[in-house]
């Protein structure tokens, strides 16, 4: 793992998300609590909705297009829907959001 400093955690609204652009697509970084973040693919597998624009509740996000709900921990769709979004390692240290550059690099190289 190689952690990359992305931004201050305060740059992401509480129960909100911001997008990080990577070579093969957007990754949404969610802030579910004061110092809790999750990084997942920004693209809903259903119809490609931008998950970073979804409503965040608990450790889940609801897609803004058709209300699919995903666990930010596992990436699994909840309830009746079947699908999964890719998850990436992310953590908060001293008020900074860190993402795993190796994972994103693999994604970039893939």
Partner 1 sequence: MKKLVVIGAGMASGRALEHLFETDPEAYEVTLFNAEARGNYNRIMLSPVLSGEKSYAEIVTHDEAWYRANKVTCRFGEHVVKIDRDRKVVVGEAGEVLYDKLIIATGSAPFIIPVEGRELPGVITYRDLDDTEAMIAAAGQPGANAVVIGGGLLGLEAAAGLRLRGMNVTVLHLMGHLMERQLDESAGYLLLKDLERRGIKVMTGASTKAILGKDKVDAVVLEDGTVLDADLVVMAVGIRPETRLATDAHLEVGRGVVVDAQMQTSDPDIHAVGECVEFDGALFGLVAPLYDQAKVLAKSLLGEVDAYAPKELSTKLKVTGCDLFSAGDFAEGPEREDIVLRDPSRGIYKRLVIEGDRLVGAVLYGDTADGSWYFGLIRDGTDIDDMRETLIFGPGFQGGASADPLSAVAALPPEAEICGCNGVCKGKITEAITGGAKDLTAVRATTKASASCGTCTGLVEQVLQVTLGGDFQMPGAQPICACCDLTHEDLRRLIKLKALKSQPAVWQELGWKTPNGCHVCRPALNFYLLADWPLEYQDDPMSRFVNERNHANIQKDGTFSVVPRMWGGLTNPNELRAIADAAEKYKVPTVKVTGGQRIDLLGVRKEDLPAIWTDLNSAGLVSGHAYSKGLRTVKTCVGTDHCRFGTQDSTGLGVKLEQILWGSWTPHKVKLGVSGCPRNCAESTCKDVGIICVDSGYQVSVAGAAGMELKETERLADVASEAEAIDLTVAFVQLYRENAKYLDRPYKWVAKVGLDWVKARVVDDLDERAALIERFEVSQSIYRKDPWAVPAREAGERSRYAPLADLTLEAAE
Contact positions toward partner 1, by CB under 8 A?
Answer: 2, 4, 6-7, 11-16, 18-23, 26, 29, 47-50, 53-58, 60, 62, 64-67, 69, 79-81, 97, 101, 104-105, 108-109
Residue 103 CB neighbours (<10 A): 18
Q: What are phi and psi of 59, to 5 degrees?
A: -105, 50
- Cα 78 → chain centroid: 16
Q: Which is nearer to partner 1, 85 or 104 (CB)?
A: 104
Q: Kindly give, in sequence order, each residue whose CB lies less than 8 Å from that of residue 54, ignoring residues fewer than 6 positions away.
A: 17, 61, 62, 63, 64
Q: Which is nearer to partner 1, 75 or 102 (CB)?
A: 102
Q: Kindly give, in sequence order, each residue whose CB lies less than 8 Å from that of residue 80, ignoring residues fewer than 6 positions away.
A: none
Find the shortest distance in angstroms from Cβ 22 to partner 1. 5
Q: Which is nearer to partner 1, 26 or 92 (CB)?
A: 26
Q: Which is nearer to partner 1, 53 or 75 (CB)?
A: 53
Find the shortest distance in angstroms from Cβ 53 to partner 1. 4
Question: Could you tell me which residues are beta bridge partners of residue 39?
Answer: 29, 88
Find the shortest distance in angstroms from Cβ 98 to partner 1. 11
């Amino acid at each position: 793992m190689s952690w990359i400093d992305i931004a201050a955690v305060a740059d992401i609204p509480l129960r909100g998300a911001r997008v990080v652009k990577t070579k093969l697509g957007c990754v949404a970084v969610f802030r579910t609590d004061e110092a809790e973040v999750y990084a997942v693919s920004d693209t809903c597998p259903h119809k490609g909705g931008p998950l970073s624009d979804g409503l965040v509740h608990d450790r889940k996000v609801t897609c803004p297009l058709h209300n699919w709900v995903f666990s930010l921990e596992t990436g699994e769709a909840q309830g009746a829907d079947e699908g999964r979004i890719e998850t990436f390692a992310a953590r908060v240290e001293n008020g900074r959001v860190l993402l795993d550059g190796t994972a994103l690099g693999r994604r970039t190289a893939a």
